Chains A and B, each alone.
Chain A
Amino acid sequence: MRDVAVVGFAQRQMKELDGSPTCLELLVPILGELYQQTGWTKSDIGFWCSGSSDYLAGRSFSFVSAVDAIGTLPPVMESHVEMDAAWALYEAWVKIQTGEVDTAIVYGFGKSSAGILRRILALQLDPYTAQPLWPDTVSLAGIQAREGLEKGLWDEAAMASVVARSMSDAASNEWAIRKGATSPADVLAQSMYADPLRRWDCAPVSDGASGMVLAAGDRALEACERPAWITGFEHRIEPIALNARSLVTSTSTASAGAASGTAGVDLAELHAPFSHQELILRSSLGLGDDVRINPSGGALTANPMFSAGVNRIGEAAKQIWAGTSDKALAHATSGPALQQNLVITLDSQKGN
């Protein structure tokens, strides 16, 4: 395997982007920031891959307009996934592993506020027997949360402490949307919204975009003093039918985590759009109490579709760059109720 590292990351998140769902006005400065961080220009980048969705944008081929942000003469090698950009990052990592390229930029973008997000996301369900009922994201999460509550796998206090820790940690995250010192009691004092969920148990609908730079070997050292080397990168998927898997455990996360190698991580950025999902992820990954969870505040404080997952990887990489973590884990999810899960481990040292 080639040694590949995360060497650049830039993000933009907001409650509502008063602009076009192509998100060009976010992507252009993000790419500018990535060039500044690495000292590179467009011609240094070997491969481009993005994550976005036309259903979210409400227009066809929205990712084609976004390519304007790159500038494509001479032509660039480019690809796209209809998933969070964390999976675009996986494609870019594989591309670098093939030896065809040494560097890549990955970006994700989405304007969730243009429609009713929890309704639009029903379109990712089975189209024969589930989607025609329009089960919204919040309801599916509520069913998942209640099952765990009633089976005694977690309780309201545990969910509230996830929310309180996330919002408190997000206070220092300039891109977080819902933030500020919060106690579990503050959370529990909130009324129920989608019983058993309070509003703060659910990630805020968020707009945003982000970009990330990957580089192999010496190219990584050229761009970054202390690159975040990728030592494990795995993703797994579970059946689309909600009754064909357990909703209260995440076997795909467990399996991706085991394959990535979670031993020795001191920090984990987990993509949990609902408070109880963080509890599922932590237990599936077997993370101990000594592992710092989501110092950025996590997805409960800003969850821009198609970039919230790659943001977890970016936040973990920042901790490696800064020397505040030696080995970090990041996770991204996609699909209904934690159907698809990706785990990456980042290290201040190159792989074995």
Chain B
Amino acid sequence: MAPTTESRVLHAPMKVEFDYTRSLGSVLSQFMSALKQHSVLGGVLADGRVVVPPPEFDPVTHLAITELVPVSDHGTVQSWSWVPEPVSQQPLDKPFAFAQVLLDGSDAPMLHAVDVDAPADISTGMRVRVRWAEETIGSIRDIACFEPAGDSETSGSASMDFGPPEVTGMISPVNLAYDYAASPEETKFFRGLSEGKLFGQRCPVCEKVYIPPRGACPVDGVPTAEEIELPDRGTLTTYCVVNVPFKGQTIPIPYVSAYVLLDGADIAFLHLILDIDAADVRMGMRVEAVWKPREEWTTSLDNIRYFRPTGEPDAEYDTYKHHL
């Protein structure tokens, strides 16, 4: 989806996704392994209370929990809240209730979803039972949710086979979605790029010119209000030759990644250097932008495909030594 350009600043959808792989300690390994076998375990605390999910350490004595006992897959709602607008990855994708459910045989409630159609269909004291997921893998999500139990009696969950835990790890997928907005200064920079222009900002105190513009001078901490249009040519200050292949690489190696200091700027930025043998690239080399065809321009620094040598004599070291 293309970024919108109507608002004050540029916005674009952004997804952050990561599968957290977690190892489980001895207590949670037993708990998750039991869930896989359709059994729920509680931890026995020093005072004899049974808590589900089992804590790893006793909250009072702080000793490791060592005794786990099966509890029922039936229980009683202790408190609940209606979820009128479920969010992504919750147990149910239609309105439901989150509830504290006290499983028979336990002394502390567990939090989970209860599948009912309306707030009128749930109440504190209501009997509920586990609805197991179609496939159980050793996760709290093996309990798909709870459902009203009516008069049904516990089918029990005591038949599990205790032994070395089958499940010792879990994967938690976390998918987050944001509307990412640029700052007003970044917006000016990216909108400029879509017209083939390069905009920076000058600090009123130290007079340094920043590109991309940052909104505040990181040296002086003052707003950088004055806009400066910069040329698309400058000096290569330092560089590295990329010889290592990596996943997603699109340019044949070896190639050069370099800091380019545009004429009139005080901050160099990283870009690609092509149209020259990597062995011939040097500090102080004068370079110019090679733009994509105008019809392909967007609000992105990718509009500049790469920088290439201009053929001018190299810049004197003194002109860029402060930027290394």
Contacts and interface: CB of A to CB of B under 8 A. Distances in A.
Contact of B215 (A68, A145, A192): A68
Interface in A31-77: 31, 42, 55, 58-59, 65, 67-73
A145 B81 CA distance: 9
Interface residues of A, number: 64
Contacts, number: 181
Contacts of A146: 79-81, 124
Interface stretch (B51-59, B250-258, B261-269): B51-59
Contact of B183 (A24, A115, A134): A24
B108 interface: yes
B12 to A, nearest CB: 11
A140 B97 CA distance: 11
A194 B22 contact: no
A22 B183 contact: yes
A132 B98 contact: no
Contacts of B79: 143-144, 146-147, 150
B177 A134 contact: no
Contact of B83 (A72, A127, A128, A136): A136
A194 B31 CA distance: 31
Nearest to B7: A18
B22 A128 contact: yes
Interface stretch (B87-95, B288-296, B311-319): B87-95
A303 to B, nearest CB: 18
Nearest to B31: A129
Contacts of A144: 79
A115 B80 contact: no
Contacts of A119: 87-88
A20 interface: yes
Interface string A129-155: 111111110111111111100100000
Contact of B119 (A22, A67, A147, A195): A195
A243 B181 contact: no
B240 interface: no
A69 B178 contact: no
Which 7 A-B pairs rank lowest in CB-CB distance, beginning with the nearest?
A142-B81, A71-B221, A20-B183, A58-B178, A195-B82, A129-B53, A243-B108
Given A69-B221, A195-B82, 18 more contacts: A24-B214, A27-B216, A65-B214, A71-B216, A71-B221, A71-B222, A118-B87, A120-B176, A128-B53, A129-B28, A134-B88, A139-B83, A140-B98, A142-B80, A147-B78, A147-B79, A195-B119, A241-B55
Interface of B: 7-9, 14, 16, 20, 22, 24, 28, 31, 51-53, 55, 59, 78-84, 87-91, 98-100, 108-113, 119, 124, 139-141, 170, 172, 174, 176-184, 186, 214-223
Interface of A: 17-22, 24-25, 27-28, 31, 42, 55, 58-59, 65, 67-73, 111, 113-116, 118-120, 123, 127-136, 138-147, 150, 192-197, 239, 241-244
11 contacts: A17-B181, A19-B181, A21-B181, A58-B14, A58-B176, A68-B214, A68-B217, A116-B177, A118-B87, A128-B22, A243-B110
